[in-house]
Amino acid sequence: MTDAIHFQFRAASVSDLEATFAAPDFYAKPRSEIFELETQLKTARDKVAHLYARWHELELLQSVPSP
């Protein structure tokens, strides 16, 4: 999977999880389920941040002239 596609997939995962948290009945769920979803959201956000950094790194490499 290319970095761009991987990034889009992860960003969509974050959006989906955030939408789950915004649901009116979200906090009626069992605490263990909320905790698991919080963990998934943190992991997804961390991965997106890593992919942003990687994307920036690749952009910088493209801007460096070849010898």
Tens of pLDDT along 9-67? Answer: 777 788 899 999 999 999 999 999 999 999 999 999 998 888 888 888 888 888 877 76
Residue 23 dihedral angles phi and psi, to the nearest 5°: -60, 140
pLDDT for res 7: 67
Taking the C-alpha atoms of residue 3 and residue 61, their distance in angstroms, rounded to an integer, is 14
Q: What confidence score (pLDDT) does residue 62 get?
A: 86
Evaluate whether 47 touches 14 at the Cβ level (below 8 Å): no
> Structure tokens of 10?
């992860």
Give the global pTM. 0.75
Task: Determine the pLDDT at residue 19.
Answer: 94
Structure tokens at 49: 């941040």
Q: Are 58 and 3 in contact (CB under 8 A)?
A: yes
Q: What's the first-to-final CA gap in the chain, in angstroms?
A: 29
Q: What is the pLDDT of residue 36?
A: 96
